[in-house]
Amino acid sequence: MGYIQGADRNQVILLPDTLDDYVGGDNEVRAIDAFIDSLDIALMGFKAAPAKEGRPGYDPRDMLKLYMYGCLNHIRSSRRLQKEAARNVELMWLLKKVVPDFRYIADFRKDNAKAIKEVFKAFVKLCNRAGLLSHESVVIDGSKFRAVNADNKSYVSSNAKKVLLDVEEKISRYMKELDETDTAESRPGALTKEDIAGVPDYPERRNTQLTEALERMAGSGENHICTTDPESRLMKTRDGIRPSFNVQTAVESENHLIVHYDVTNECTDWHLLGDGIEASKAALGVENLEGIADRGYSSDEEILQCLLNGDTPTTHPNKGEKSRMFRFQKTDTEVTGEMLSSKDKDTLLLCISAGMLPEILQRGDVELEVLKRREQGSNLYLDKETGELVSYAEMKAQGGLEKVPVEVRRDPPLQPYFERDIEKDIVICPMGQTLFYAGLGHPNGKKDPPIRRYHRLSACLKCPNKCTLRKRRIVSFKEGETRKEEAFYEKARENRIVRKTSHRFKVITLSEEESSWDEWVILRFYPNQQHLRKRNTVAGHPYGTVKRWHGTGYLLTKGKLKAAAEMGLSFPAYDFRRVINLLGVKGIMEMIMA
């Protein structure tokens, strides 16, 4: 039995009379065409009027259709978009056989960065009018997207100094080899002076780059810099520390559509919760909203500001706790009914400090308590089980200090101390492992520049004779200190290692000002644990789809504004595909035409 045979290439065939016959009525390109044509591109900021002189340009609508189609079909490169426009029947129909040059395609995205984000907002408004968006809650999350910046074009102040010393050492070694070559007798196979003379060229260039980077960091006050894309930052990703942008999204919880996005160079999500909730409220047209986020958004200051706005910042409390707690000094301010119903944040804080809960916080997940000091000079301890604040004596009476001995077997170390090399800014541990700088010390919760911390998790995890019962050891050095004795091994040999049996209590670190208070007002916020469990099912899908399906795990443009334009093409495509899956092509066409 033979194979399936194709048609004869020389056979005369009858093709459809019009290009429109090649595109079915349920093809998604018809929905793309209808949506882009419905936009007021002049109001969005695109150049809508054609030029009166010179060579005519391409219609911005055609360029938007081309990019939307490319994002929906895994095509990002401007050269590939040009190629597809010349051979893809769907694109021929969509662009009416217009084939833009790849340079014009790339420049369109670069030159219309602000306007492109308006296209995303327009589609969100369209979905909102169609009733596809939930007005109750959004899930806020962030993900790192690789910037257009090579790793060796990124510099950290502490590491750059060490690399600079190594480069200078290499240059000195090469210079020495040059001198030795001059004086040594030539022998067969030996390197000549000309061979060695070209070797120091790269170290010299590297030396110049490092010196300039250190000067720029000293002038800007930052501890790291990226030279190719100065607006990007070194961020922790799954692939290690890489030059990246932190892309924030807010996804509504019903149909999982993205309602807001932003491109930032913040290395962490710590202070971005309030901005995400405010932008989502504007997109949805609501007064108050619940923002669900992970532990990365656990800034007490941000959460309190969201509560005072009447919003619900649902984030995980600290480990082992059920609520997030805020402390205020008790005052004797006279509170009026007008103050309780006010929306001014300063007025609301006055009410709370007076021990009165404002109307905006009178809800089931917020509690207020006035606490008097029970013992002068005593720290406060949080009972994680009950949420109560107790004194040192009460904590001790309930077994908070009980310890049991732990049998630990350790061999004698290579050296009984941690040794710090100030010049290279590293520390050698008792087992000979190298620990790296990990930031400033935080005694009493405040950064202290003279104190420097060092650790290395990978070394501690593999160490068979480590000096701790925890996963890693963090060691701090004061200014000028070079050696720190380690008594863990001696204690282990004498069976003096103990471990707490109860982790029920947590010490509350009080500032000097708080230590002088006789009365506190405690405000507690209890996040909805059920909503936190649903967060992963909502937040992860858009990023996974955009990064893998659209292929946008890395950026093609430099700068926050241009990166925002690039993401402003991927996210509408994600929402567009999502709505097509929900309503079908005919449904989305009816939604656009309504």
- Asked if residue 66 belongs to a domain, the reply is yes
- Asked if residue 10 belongs to a domain, the reply is no
Distances (CA, A) of 137 to 125, 282, 292, 340, 434: 17, 13, 7, 26, 47
Task: Show the CA angle centred on residue 538, arms to residues 533 and 540, nearest 5°.
Answer: 105
Q: What is the dihedral of CA 89, 90, 94, 96, to 10 degrees?
A: 10
For residue 260, the cross-strand partners are 250
Q: Same domain, yes or no, for 496 and 515?
A: no
Q: Treating both helix axes as pointing N-terminal to C-terminal, what angle do 102-111 and 78-87 enclose, rounded to 10 degrees?
A: 130
**Strand-pair category, 233-237 with 240-252:** antiparallel
What pLDDT shows up at residue 210? 66
Contact in structure between 567 and 144 (CB atoms under 8 Å)? no
What pLDDT shows up at residue 200? 58
Q: Same domain, yes or no, for 533 and 483?
A: no
What pLDDT shows up at residue 156? 74
pTM: 0.79
Q: Same domain, yes or no, for 442 and 410?
A: yes
What pLDDT shows up at residue 541? 84
168-227 residue pLDDT tens: 666 666 666 666 665 665 555 555 556 555 555 656 666 666 676 666 766 666 767 787
Nearest of 342, 332, 285, 352 to residue 309 by alpha carbon:
342
Contact in structure between 70 and 90 (CB atoms under 8 Å)? no
H helices within 309-372, ranges in order? 337-340, 345-353
Distances (CA, A) of 451 to 282, 420, 455, 460, 479: 44, 13, 14, 22, 6
Regions of the chain where pLDDT drops below 70: 1, 15-16, 48-54, 157-210, 212-215, 217-221, 223, 374-378, 442-449, 550-552
- Asked if residue 476 belongs to a domain, the reply is yes
Host domain of residue 64? 19-132+562-593
What pLDDT shows up at residue 150? 85
Q: Same domain, yes or no, for 357 and 255?
A: yes
Exposed, middle or buried by CB within 10 Å (0-12, 13-18, 19+), for 584? middle
Q: Same domain, yes or no, for 127 and 274?
A: no
Which residues lie below 8 Å from residue 43, measured CB to CB, with a gap of 6+?
none
For residue 325, the cross-strand partners are 524
Exposed, middle or buried by CB within 10 Å (0-12, 13-18, 19+), for 238? exposed
- Asked if residue 411 belongs to a domain, the reply is yes
**What is Dmax (Cα atoms) for the chain?**
101
- Asked if residue 433 belongs to a domain, the reply is yes
For residue 226, the cross-strand partners are 154
585 φ/ψ angles, rounded to the nearest 5 degrees: -65, -40
What pLDDT shows up at residue 188? 56
Query: How many domains, in total, are found in the chain?
Result: 4
Q: Same domain, yes or no, for 42 and 87?
A: yes
Q: Treating both helix axes as pointing N-terminal to C-terminal, what angle do 60-72 and 560-593 enclose, rounded to 10 degrees?
A: 90
